[in-house]
Structure 1
Amino acid sequence: MADTRKRCFDPVVDADTRLLILGSLPGEKSLAHSQYYAHPQNKFWMLLGEVLGVDLKSLPYEARLATLLAHGVGLWDVVAQAHRSGSLDSNIRNRDDNDLPGLLARFPAIRAIAFNGGTAAKLGIKVLGGQAPHYRIVELPSSSPAYTLSYAEKQKKWSDLLSVIVK
């Protein structure tokens, strides 16, 4: 696949968002479908569904997003746009980052930030800079099929989100 400039999606947040989950940059399948975590082998919707107690995977995409918002969960990406061949984070080049501090200022109910994967965490904490200590930071194992930790191990770590989501 050509090394083309890829762009993230708009943030999924509202005034009641308490937890913001940040990925790095959508992969090829997600971009092709214009949906967060659209790759059928990505476990994002299953992992988060278990945390929320909702079968997110069975819902239409728009209903998934509405369900997240109803539970105080938002989505976005650290990288606004970048050159990347394929879907691997290791191929991200010449990136422009999203204005995470600006988003957090517009949505003051956000009190926790979870990073879906090591690249998102590494880049996101840098982008947050001095604001990072003002939030509960949760570094999650990537829900991507490229990250080969077992589902059970991923689920154990993702269950930590429950304490952040509960009001």
Structure 2
Amino acid sequence: MNDPIIPPLKTAFPPIVDQNCKVLLLGTMPGDRSLSLQQYYGHAGNHFWKLIYTLFQQPVEADYEARKRFLLNHGIALWDVLESCTCEGSLDSNIKNEVVNDFAAFYQQYPAITEIFFDSRKAEQFYLKHVKKSEDKNYHLLPSPSRANASKTFEQKLELWKELLPYVKL
């Protein structure tokens, strides 16, 4: 008798955040490559870092610690909606058994955050399912930076990601 294959439990990273952040960018859960590198958006094919740096007309830095400082210097926090889940592969559509991060405690610790940007529809769906919207926050949906989102070119994604600019430190 064959036992069913249970997808691996995946655990997200702690947030990149400080008290100066007004913007929170929310993904769903790091993909396999990001988890193996222990870096947000670690897959070379993901447009996230290129989008962020292009918004500020800067070349992408290779050093991950420099990338994290770059976000914070512009008042941008980065986190994922989910704390953990089971997922075969890296596609959000495969996520099961999700456990959401503690947003009530997070927002209490970082009260300056007022702008919430979801970087995929799935991140938004999980957030709305488990967290709900708060009246003291504004919510925005951006196109996924993933290469799996092939319906938009980099330039089309960049145009939509410009919605961040009024809320960040330039």
Look up the match of 1:125.
128
How many residues are paired up?
165
User: Is the 2:73–2:169 contact (alpha carbons within 8 Å) kept by the matching residues of 1?
Assistant: no
Structure 1 46/94 Cα, relative in aligned 2: closer, same or farther at 3 Å?
A: same
- Distance verdict in 2 for CA 1:143–1:2, change over 3 Å: farther
Contact 1:21 1:114 in 2 (8 A): yes
* Aligned mates of 1:105, 1:70 — CA distance in 2: 21
In the alignment, which residue of structure 2 is the partner of 1:41? 45
* Deviation (angstroms), 1:105: 1.1
Unaligned 5+ runs, structure 1: none
1:17 alignment partner in structure 2: 21
> What letter matches 2:141 in structure 1?
E
Deviations 1:56-113 (A, max 9, x none): x233000000111011001000010000000000000001000112201110111101
**Does residue 29 of the first structure (1) align with residue 26 of the second (2)?**
no
| Counterpart Cα distance in 1 of 2:48 and 2:162 | 12
Give the letter for the 2:109 counterpart: R
Contact 2:29 2:82 in 1 (8 A): yes
Distance 2:125 2:111 in 1: 23
**Residues 1:68 and 1:165: Cα distance change in structure 2 (over 3 Å):** same
Stretches of structure 2 that go unaligned for 5 or more consecutive residues are none
Amino acid at match of 2:64: Y
Distance 1:69 1:100 in 2: 19
Is residue 42–residue 145 contact of structure 1 (8 Å, CA) maintained in 2? Answer: yes
1:53 shift after superposition: 2.9
Kindly state the Cα deviation for residue 31 of structure 1 after the two structures are TM-superposed: 0.2
How far does residue 127 in structure 1 lie from its aligned partner after superposition?
A: 3.2
8 Å Cα contact 1:52/1:71 also seen in 2: no
Q: Give 2:136's aligned residue.
A: 134
The whole-number CA distance in structure 2 between the counterparts of 1:130 and 1:138 is 11
Name the amino acid aligned to 1:32.
S
In terms of fraction of residues, the more helix-rich structure is: 1
What is the TM-score of this pair, normalised by structure 2? 0.91
Aligned to 2:149: 147
Which residue is equivalent to 2:119? 116
1:104 corresponds to which residue?
107
Structure label with greater radius of gyration: 2
1:130 shift after superposition: 4.3
Q: 1:4 maps to which residue?
A: 8
